[in-house]
Structure 1
């Protein structure tokens, strides 16, 4: 059985949550992420498909 170690102290977790450059999971472009939970760039989030919740099909992105 695998033990999962969770960070219980929110101040420690917040210290690890820093802005940095990340790859967008949708178009793979680099963007300045505000936190480790932000993995989709602003340009992809501004698309109609993203706002309407349309499922993403790999290879259909117009950006490289």
Structure 2
């Protein structure tokens, strides 16, 4: 998982979730993407960090 320094904020639950994927742009910005958002519209594709509660959270 991407370090919190690269994200600009602590990831919260996303840092421990199996559905989180890091996405780094060509300009060097890094974001966490929620894999659940692809199949369930209740989840934000790029959640606002830190995430403290999430119904889709599954630990790694």
Q: Please, what TM-score do these two structures have when normalized by structure 1? A: 0.30
Q: Which has the higher contact order (CA 8 A, sep 6+)?
A: 2
